[in-house]
Amino acid sequence: MNDIFWTDQGRGRPLVLLHGGFLDHHMWDDQIPVFASGHRVVAPDARGHGCSANAAGPYRQTDDLAELLRRLGAWPAVLAGVSMGAGIAVDTAIEHPDLVSAVVVSGAGTSEPYYDDPWTVRELTAWQAAMAEGDLCGSVEGFMTLAAGPHLGPDGLGPEVARRLRAMATGTMSKHAAGEPNVLVPVRDTWERAAKIEVPVLAISGALDSPDLVGMAERLAASVPHGRAVTIADAAHHPNMERPADCNRILKDFLDTL
């Protein structure tokens, strides 16, 4: 797996931190040192993101993760993911259940999202148009608008969180060109199959995130046998960055129950 980058810190039960789309493992900088004191914390960059190479052919993100966990002997693991990372976590619990001991999702339900909130549909459409045109500046700013959600606006994220998000998004987006073929192979029927996930599932939502995304996370938690949903006030799409102390406390409490 020379084309996939990851960090591997600490000892103990594996905790795998999966970043959101167009970001990288640095979105977990407020979690890695905290949890590495009692867990083996693995934080990869997904293919085409951060320090990982772009895809050379068709691939599935869940298979990349499964191969990495097996190579490292870091399983069964608690998979904690935000947005795209949440989808990868759920896909892996579906496709490779032997590798997963629990799932934590934020900002997503499964890797097959649906959107019907007018704000989300409008901003997502504008962002996708900028991406298709190869407009890096417009793509990054569209990403920032979606990250801030319908209530905050990018300025409401705070300067340091906004700086970190913008830097990661710019780094990943600049790795790709307009018109580049999408060779990501999706996992199908995830909502129907997710109901069969038997390990504990925790959904953490930012109260200021898009209603679509909060609803999908809560729907996932309600659809599995051992699911629970919590909300962090004054946070939008990346609560682990916006309210790290609250997120760390909630995640620690969940890990202590396993």
pLDDT tens, position by position, 4-61: 999 999 999 999 999 999 999 999 999 999 999 999 999 999 999 999 999 999 999 9
pLDDT(161) > 90: yes
Query: What is the set of domains in the chain, with CATH numbers?
Result: 5-115+182-256 (3.40.50.1820), 118-173 (no CATH)
Pairing of β 5-9 and β 39-45: antiparallel
Angstrom distance (rounded) from CA 75 to CA 78 = 8
Give residue 39's Cα distance to chain centre.
Answer: 19
- Residue position matching structure tokens 């995130």: 209
Q: Is 145 helix (H, G, I), strand (E, B) or coil?
A: helix
Angstrom distance (rounded) from CA 233 to CA 216 = 18
DSSP annotation string for 194-246: HTT--S-EEEEEETTS-HHHHHHHHHHHHHSTTEEEEEETT--S-HHHHSHHH
Angstrom distance (rounded) from CA 138 to CA 136 = 5
- Return the CA Rg of the chain: 17
The count of other CB atoms within 10 Å of the CB of residue 201 is 26
pLDDT(154) > 90: no
Kind and range of the H or E element at 99?
A: none
- Whole-number pLDDT of residue 1: 72
DSSP state of 36: T
Span 54-92, pLDDT tens digits? 999 999 999 999 999 999 999 999 999 999 999 999 999
Angstrom distance (rounded) from CA 165 to CA 159 = 10
Q: Is 143 helix (H, G, I), strand (E, B) or coil?
A: helix
Angstrom distance (rounded) from CA 220 to CA 52 = 29
| pTM to 2 decimal places | 0.98
Span 211-224, pLDDT tens digits? 999 999 999 999 99
DSSP annotation string for 45-96: EPTTSTTSPPPSS-B-HHHHHHHHHHHHT--SEEEEEETHHHHHHHHHHHH-
